[in-house]
Amino acid sequence: MSDSMQLIPAEYDFVVVSNRLPVDRVTDSEGVASWTRSPGGLVTALEPVMREADGAWVGWGGQPDLEIEPFENNGIHIVPIALSASEIEEFYEGFSNDTLWPLYHDVISSPAYHREWWESYVKVNQRFADAAAAVSAQGAVVWVQDYQLQLVPKMLREIRPDLTIGFFDHIPFPPYGIYSQLPWRTQILEGLLGADVIGFQRVADAGNFLRAVRRLTPFVTKNPVVEVTSDSQQTRRVIARAFPISIDAKGFEELARDPKIQERAREIREGLGNPRTVMLGVDRLDYTKGIGHRLKAFGELLAEGRIDVQDVTLVQVASPSRERVAAYMQLRDEIELTVGRINGDFATMSHTAISYHHHGYPREEMVALYLAADVLLVTALRDGMNLVAKEYVASRFDDDGVLILSEFTGASDELKKALLINPHDIDGLKDTMLQAIAMPKKERQARMRSLRKRVNENDVARWSSNFLKTLEQARASHNGDETAMELPDELEWTVDRRWTN
């Protein structure tokens, strides 16, 4: 443990550990540094929970060599972890985002396996574990997030056996045939099994994990429990199961009801030339999101004269992401070439075909876009959950708008009243886009009402309370309460459902 870590008081009963902090350090052109909200669904999901819990958040500030003392930000105690430029290259861009990310997303892009990247992953995971151990009070609950930190649960348990440790995997866990490619597959499983509860987005992900445990470790699994036996023959019970993540649904609806945001939505439509239909895509610029598939379908519909730029515009927000990883640079070139071609071929002086934006936007602007959009296109080839789909639904308090949703997203397990598509089937996608454009108001409303019921019931508060309740039970059972491992009623639905690869 570093000297500076030893100075942090071990006083927090609830600690979240994630690769990124909920705030990012940004430096402007004049060298002035400030903190802004981080991108991505993880922060969106956890921020409200943290505020209520008065806990500490351990994570990286988003820039190299940031040696910053812990500080308070909007009611959250922030504990920054420093990463050097070479650790960013090897741990973050390398092992996390060029090995694990493509491997866990069905090898859509080829994973690269480099031993130095793995060594950096081990070293950085140890640093996060040390920092979490240093800030946690005796018997605290520590919740570790996502694929960048899969070794932290075991490392943390070794330093602090008194802690109750949860882990949540925000991305898919791949089928064994794919997972088994990973040279460090057993070490990763052992790292995760240091937790008391391991959460996944989908029932299928938990099934894939349990199957990998059976194939690669000597431990017995009795769905959803893994019996982890130590060298001294002591057995610890680890729960591995689905806890589908969600959003702050009320927060989105509140914004959507704000007259200023509704006015902004009208302005957006006007700026686009008031087309009859606005279609919208909102994604990190990532090869898992199927942006190219969506553009292909849209371009073909224009080329075939089945839609016209006077009537239909596609707005694509593609927020910059992992820009120094080669696969992401190549994707950006491909997407921007395609957008340029489609606009060159079909735009008129008054109407553009695709309004393309390579930026992130504040939440207020996103909600205005959701209100302005008649159709939201989610065409991911593989996605742990896809919170954009849920944000769109939560914002549509007017019970209008059509959600087209890839069946390869976690969200499709819940949002059955969306128009579900296979993004690889371009003809099917085109037909569904036309169906969405032509859908009668009554049907739009009936579908949206049912989607909204689901999203409002299963919001982020319910997700975190379900997860934390299960962790509490794990803690009680460690303290000798044998009845404590019975699952809370409202979780049972996730246990019995189908297990698919």
Residue 202 is a binding residue for ligand F6P (CB under 6 A): no
Least Å from the CB of residue 91 to ligand F6P: 12
Question: What Cα–Cα distance (Å) separates residue 267 from each residue in 80, 206, 263, 402, 437?
Answer: 40, 44, 6, 20, 21
Please say which residue, 179 or 346, places its beta carbon nearer to ligand F6P. Answer: 179
Distance between CA atoms of residues 397 and 403, nearest Å: 14
CB of 378 to ligand F6P, least distance (A): 15
Of the two residues 332 and 478, which places its CB atom closer to ligand F6P in the complex?
Answer: 332
Alpha-carbon distance of 92 to 269, in angstroms, equals 39
Closest approach of ligand F6P to the CB of residue 366, in Å: 15
Stretch that binds ligand F6P, among 37-45, 134-142, 153-161, 294-302 (CB under 6 A): 37-45
Q: What is the CA radius of gyration of the chain?
A: 23
The interface region with ligand F6P, picked from 33-41, 210-218, 346-354, 373-381 by CB under 6 A, is 33-41
Residues linked to residue 483 through DSSP beta bridges, in sequence order: none
Binding status of residue 410 toward ligand F6P by CB under 6 A:
no
User: Does the protein bind ligand F6P through residue 16 (CB under 6 A)?
Assistant: no
Nearest alpha-carbon partner for 278 in 437, 446, 430, 439:
437
User: What token pair was written down for 152?
Assistant: 């932290």
Q: Which residue has the tokens 């050097």?
A: 84
Half-sphere exposure of 281 (CA within 13 A, CB side): 31
CB of 302 to ligand F6P, least distance (A): 32
- 40 in contact with ligand F6P (CB under 6 A): yes
**Which of 326/438 has CB closer to ligand F6P?**
326
What is the three-state SS of 423-485? CCCHHHHHHHHHHHHHCCHHHHHHHHHHHHHHHHHCCHHHHHHHHHHHHHHHHHHHCCCHHHH
Decide whether 42 or 312 has the Cβ nearer to ligand F6P: 42
CA 96 vs CA 100, 102, 237, 269, 338: distances in Å: 5, 9, 28, 39, 28
Q: CB of 156 within 8 A of CB of 125?
A: no
From 39, 48, 64, 111, residue interacting with ligand F6P (rule: CB under 6 A): 39
Cα distances (angstroms) measured from residue 63 to each of 24, 26, 85, 131, 452 = 8, 8, 8, 18, 38
- Total number of residues binding ligand F6P (CB under 6 A)? 11
At its nearest, how many Å lie between ligand F6P and the CB of residue 42?
4
- Selected from 152, 163, 171, 189, the binder of ligand F6P by CB under 6 A is 171
**Closer residue to ligand F6P, CB minimum distance, 60 or 298:** 60
Write the DSSP assignment of 86-130 as a string of letters: HHIIIIIIIIIIIIIHHHHTTTSSPPP--HHHHHHHHHHHHHHHH
Closest CB to ligand F6P: residue number: 40
Binders of ligand F6P among 127-166, rule CB under 6 A? 146
The encoded tokens of residue 277 equal 């239909």
Rounded to the nearest whole angstrom, what is the least distance from the CB of residue 20 to ligand F6P in the complex? 5
Interface characters, 90-129, with ligand F6P (x: CB under 6 A): ----------------------------------------
Residue 62 Cβ, how far from ligand F6P at the closest point, in Å?
8
The answer to whether residues 150 and 188 touch, using CB atoms and an 8 Å cutoff, is yes
- For residue 41, state whether it binds ligand F6P (rule: CB under 6 A): yes
Return the residues of window 428-447 that contact ligand F6P according to CB under 6 A. Answer: none
Footprint on residues 315-334 left by ligand F6P (CB under 6 A):
321-322
| Position among 15, 20, 190, 206 found at the interface with ligand F6P (CB under 6 A) | 20
Instruction: List residues near ligand F6P by CB under 6 A.
Output: 19-20, 39-42, 146, 170-171, 321-322
